[in-house]
Structure 1
Amino acid sequence: MNASGSGRASLRVRVIKPTIPFRGVQSKASRPKSTTKTPTRKQFSPELKRFEERFAKEAMPQPRPNGGISPRVLTFLGISALTISTYCGYLYASYQRQVSKGQTLDVPRDVSDRYNTTAPTFDADVELSEKAMGLGTKRANLVRMARGDVLEVSCGTGRNLEYYDLGERRGLDHQDRPGIIGCRSLTFVDLSPQMVAITKEKSETLRPGFKRMAFRAQDAGSVSVELDGLRRPGSKGEYYDTIVQTMGLCSMPDPVGTLRHLGEITEPKHGRILLLEHGRSYYDWLNRILDNLAPTHADRHGCWWNRDIGAIVRDSGLEIVEEKRWHLGTTWRYVLRPKQN
């Protein structure tokens, strides 16, 4: 029995069951141990650390002082303010000198003789200021209303010459009403012979095809109706249909009397007197400046620029058809006609 028992024992086979791991899961026993060691944090020297901190601080955008305005802009604004203040100081000093000079001048009421000396340079002297104020357009809009036999007094150097609508005909006027439009004849009058000569010379260049023109050196306060050779055949020629004056009342010794006379030679029913003038303002502060500088301006340019144009027109007795003002009230435009009975 022992022999047989030991024999069976020797025949026993040890069966080892295979281990089936779960998918995606690995037991701790079967995980390979990593042989890579976690690196230790590198130690920096104090100098390198300070360099990194300074570099990071400089790289960050810094807020600009004074509300974000750059130093270049501040410099420009400072220079501009200095320039403007210096120029204003210069203007004020010049103003004070002119006021002091004006207090010592004895300027006559009639300064029209100044235009004899300023005639050659008159256009150049006023060109820039008239462009800045847009007076060319205002001249054109006024003068294009002229029709029939036209008289321009205080014509100066003919600065209105290019704006006339020449040639009488039927059509629509500036208010789109049917009637007679265009100029039948043009007569230019100025107290300065030198000014009249320049106007005549301009007419040969600007309006060479229009032959019904006359040029006379004469006082506007006593100008007569002279239309021989200009008037339409069959017309009596006792009046002018339109009288034009631009920037003339400022230089006349008797502007009220001159307007009254012009009203007497204007066609009573349909005639018009067209004015474009400069004078007093709406504002007292500006009028004080004009008053203070008026003597020196009149002595140099032959112009009393502080006259009350509205008062002159009212005192003339003419009827106001239209009135407009610009440039703080210093530029006046009038359409007048003789007083209707």
Structure 2
Amino acid sequence: MLVTSYIKSPPTPDPKSPLASSVPTPTPRPSAISGTAPQEDAIPTGRPSTLVTAVAAGCPDEELRQTAEAFDRGLNLPEWLMGLRGLRRELAARAYGHVLEVAVGTGRNMPYYDWTGVIASGGAGEAEARAQRERERLVKLLDQHRWGGSKIDQAQLHQVGVLSFTGVDISADMLGIARTRLRDAVPGLKRIMHRRRLEPLPEQSAAAAAAPEGSLVVDTLGGRVRLVMADAQNTLPLPPALPSSPTPPEKYDTIVQSFGLCSVADPAQLLAHMASLVQPDTGRILLLEHGRGWYDWINHKLDEYAGRHFQRYGCWWNRDIECIVREAAKTVPGLEVVKLERPLLLQAGTTLLVELRVASTKQQQQSPPAERQ
């Protein structure tokens, strides 16, 4: 993790550009947020630091997009070397039903979702028509399951695939890259979406990010595919109403987030907000994160280079993610840790896959306290 983070140097801005102004490297200090992990002097905004600087400097739209594109390209080699593509694929494979991706960024998970559920099957052959009928049957089972009706196991849930997708991020420019990736990932979108958005991207202001439903960047396929600019700590849109679901859902079946808890000012608040919008009992919150690992030596190195990493990526990689998640499970009503794994042995425990759920009030009453921690 330490090595791959610095294989490629961050792009050097044009000396004549407003981006050339120096950004001081923040210094970590002790924190109560993450147990033994140090806290940042600079508060993360959810955007890469280079993009924060560009927005503050009033750079033109094209320069902002180039900054976002450069940031996205800079992740390609480190993610490949670290094996993160496989983890993104695993994360997306677990998503089903109405899916919300928080801190979607440039959309690096999008190629791995099962998009069959959001695509109309008009003109399909008999085999595909049968598959579509089976999906419709499973969707009906899922609707009944949400309201305490017929039972459906996890294998059947995954066969449902993605029925709707809503991606949320605080940065309009990052969403501009995500829009392109979404257009490439969802079959058929190239026929109905222009390569570049014709309208200007939403204004990147605090007021715009905090709007009750956020600002739409993409709204297509009858609302089944959306990208929304919003501050996820304060604003998350509700799932869309679909013809296949007679009762409009109020919550999501799956909430996905990758490398978001390290990039927000208050990760506990974000976890609580996500928990409030996931279906009780049946829904899942899926996290792919990085943070403190198994060994003191690597944690010392994370602390040592934390300021430099923040300056480049806008996130604090030395937060104790497991501590943050487990503390949230103690304080957020019904929130439970279903699974917490540290895959990628070569990363020494600094990469985490987390699965959470929110138990309904009835389920909490039936479960002994030890099972709810």
TM-score bucket of the superposed structures, by smaller chain? 0.5 to 0.7
Question: Aligned to 1:152, which of 82, 88, 101?
Answer: 101
State how far apart, in whole Å, the 2-side matches of 1:188 and 1:115 are. 22
CA distances 1:67-110 after superposition (whole Å, capped 9, x unpaired) = xxxxxxxxxxxxxxxxxxxxx9xx9xx9xxxxx96559984122
Helix, strand or coil: the match of 1:258?
helix
CA distances 1:118-141 after superposition (whole Å, capped 9, x unpaired) = 422122111111111111011101
Matched, 1:203 2:182: yes
Normalised by the length of structure 1, the TM-score is 0.65
Matched, 1:164 2:113: yes
Counterpart in the other structure of 2:350: 330
Counterpart in the other structure of 1:320: 337
Normalised by the length of structure 2, the TM-score is 0.60
Matched, 1:226 2:243: no
State how far apart, in whole Å, the 1-side matches of 2:246 and 2:320 are. 41
Question: Aligned to 2:249, which of 237, 244, 264?
Answer: 237
If you compute each CA radius of gyration, which structure gives the higher value, 1 or 2? 1
Higher relative contact order (CA 8 A, sep 6+): 2
Paired residues for 1:22-101 under 5 Å:
none
Helix, strand or coil: the match of 1:249?
coil
Question: Aligned to 2:161, which of 171, 175, 182?
Answer: 182
Stretches of structure 1 that go unaligned for 5 or more consecutive residues are 1-87, 95-99
State how far apart, in whole Å, the 1-side matches of 2:233 and 2:154 are. 33
State how far apart, in whole Å, the 1-side matches of 2:292 and 2:328 are. 18
Helix, strand or coil: the match of 2:252?
coil
Matched, 1:273 2:285: yes
CA distances 1:28-87 after superposition (whole Å, capped 9, x unpaired) = xxxxxxxxxxxxxxxxxxxxxxxxxxxxxxxxxxxxxxxxxxxxxxxxxxxxxxxxxxxx
Stretches of structure 2 that go unaligned for 5 or more consecutive residues are 10-23, 30-39, 55-66, 118-134, 140-152, 190-220, 330-334, 365-373
Q: CA deviation at 1:181?
A: 2.2
CA distances 1:143-189 after superposition (whole Å, capped 9, x unpaired) = 11100000001101000001001234239xxx973345201000010
State how far apart, in whole Å, the 1-side matches of 2:84 and 2:309 are. 20
State how far apart, in whole Å, the 1-side matches of 2:319 and 2:275 are. 20
Question: Aligned to 1:110, which of 30, 44, 54?
Answer: 44
Q: CA deviation at 1:115?
A: 6.2
Distance 1:112 1:209, change over 3 A: same
Helix, strand or coil: the match of 1:109?
coil
CA distances 1:237-284 after superposition (whole Å, capped 9, x unpaired) = 210110000111111100011001100110002000000000001100
State how far apart, in whole Å, the 1-side matches of 2:243 and 2:287 are. 23
How high is the sequence identity, in percent, across the aligned residues? 40
Paired residues for 1:10-29 under 5 Å:
none
RMSD: 2.9
Distance 1:218 1:104, change over 3 A: closer
Q: CA deviation at 1:231?
A: 6.8
